[in-house]
Amino acid sequence: MQKKEFIRKWMKNLRLCTNLKRNMPTLERKSAIKLSADVAIASTRTSSTSWSQAVISNAIKNMDKILVQSISGQKMHSNMKLCRKILQKSRRVTTRKKVVKRSKSIESRIHVLKGLVPGGNEIMDETSLIREAMDYIASLRVQVEVMTSMASLFE
């Protein structure tokens, strides 16, 4: 199901991207392709995960806002509401931080993981972080699988 949804959304995004600029230089095309794919896979999981919301809000910050609005299929102000929600959630959780004894190596690995999962630094408890990481990995695998098929289609 996620695979179908991703393919549909990615194709729509690609169409929108290539519509905007006819003669794109290769590097721009690479960014457009990657952005379309990242936003598409994230939008298949926005209702249940925070990594996906972080991907979309980062895309909003970094790229042309109009482009992202049309390709994420969400209105601008609803994306902004999502950003605010994420920030609010993280603020609420920090006030109840539990002190759990962990070995230094586990602490440092968790720190690295937070940096790799989008929005990971806003996640305060380990259980949520691990859940987000699992969902993120599953989604990345779908993304890679489809992009690989696409590449073999055109080679």
Partner 1 sequence: MSTRRASSRQAASASRVNEQQITDLLARLQQILPEIHSRCRRPSDKVSASRVLQETCSYIRSLQREVGDLSDRLSCLLTTNDVESDEAAVIRSLLMRD
The answer to the question of residue 27 lying near partner 1 (CB under 8 A) is yes
The answer to the question of residue 84 lying near partner 1 (CB under 8 A) is no
The full DSSP string for 23-91 is S--HHHHHHHHHHHHHHHHHHTSTTT-HHHHHHHHHHHHHS-HHHHHHHHTS-HHHHHHHHHHHHHHHH
Closest by alpha carbon to 10, among 30, 34, 40? Answer: 40
Size of the site for partner 1 (CB under 8 A): 51
Residue 20 beta carbon to partner 1: minimum distance, rounded to whole angstroms:
10
Binding site for partner 1 (CB under 8 A): 3-4, 7-8, 11, 14-15, 18, 22, 26-27, 29-31, 33-34, 37-38, 98, 100, 103, 105-106, 109-110, 112-113, 116-117, 126-127, 130-131, 133-134, 136-138, 140-141, 143-144, 146-151, 153-155
